[in-house]
Amino acid sequence: MDSNLYFESGREGKITLVLSCPGACEELQGRPAVGKSGENLKEILTKVNELSKTKNWTREKVTITNAWDKAEHICKTGRSEAKISEIKSTSNINRLFYDVEHTEEYIICFGKRAQMAIKQVIKSHFQNKKSPKIINTRQPGFQSLNRITKDIEGNTILKGQKDATRRRLQVIAHEIFEQM
């Protein structure tokens, strides 16, 4: 499995997950989607496996990349996201294309920056090539998660509730499953 700060190649080429950018935990550990976001991602993948009745959605099988390949965190760069102009730069879009070009079934975009970047990759590089199905959902980080106020059954999720995070992650898993 190839690995670095922003990219990790899975054993299968069926599914690629695109996050926004590496943060402090990723920089420290030298691989994408670690720390709390990584734990949340694992929970989402487990739930999608249950919903789809497959075993394709595991960290070892999926490829993970980021819309931006450099670590962004307040202590280092004073921001937690790359600028839109950086993400849309030709060199970054070309880099992201190489990360996703062999994906056979699904590219899952976590958050608006990932969605924007993949949209540009498709526009720039997939004119003569069939693209995989694009699935758009929210970021698995807490800032995004805390905006989810209803669970999959329509019940209110209250701040500080014991199982609030798990219920919010289920919402994301359902968003992915419904778009498959």
Domain boundaries, given as residue ranges, for the chain: 15-138
| Cα 118 from chain centre | 11
Band (2; pLDDT cuts 50, 70, 90): low
Mean predicted lDDT score pLDDT of the chain: 93
Q: What is the pLDDT of residues 95-154, one digit of tens each?
A: 999 999 999 999 999 999 999 999 999 999 988 788 899 999 999 888 889 999 999 999
Residue closest to 44 by CA, chosen among 115, 156, 132, 139? 139
Q: What is the pLDDT of residues 19-55, one digit of tens each?
A: 999 989 999 999 999 988 899 999 999 999 999 998 8
Confidence at residue 127, expressed as pLDDT on a 0 to 100 scale: 80
CA dist., res. 3 & res. 16, Å (int): 14
CATH number of 15-138: 3.40.470.10
Residues 6+ apart with CB under 8 A from 67: 18, 19, 20, 21, 82, 87, 92, 96, 111, 113, 114, 116, 117, 118
Q: What is the pLDDT of residues 56-108, one digit of tens each?
A: 899 999 999 999 999 888 888 888 889 999 999 999 999 999 999 999 999 99
Q: Which sign does the torsion angle of CA 117, 118, 122, 126 carry? A: positive
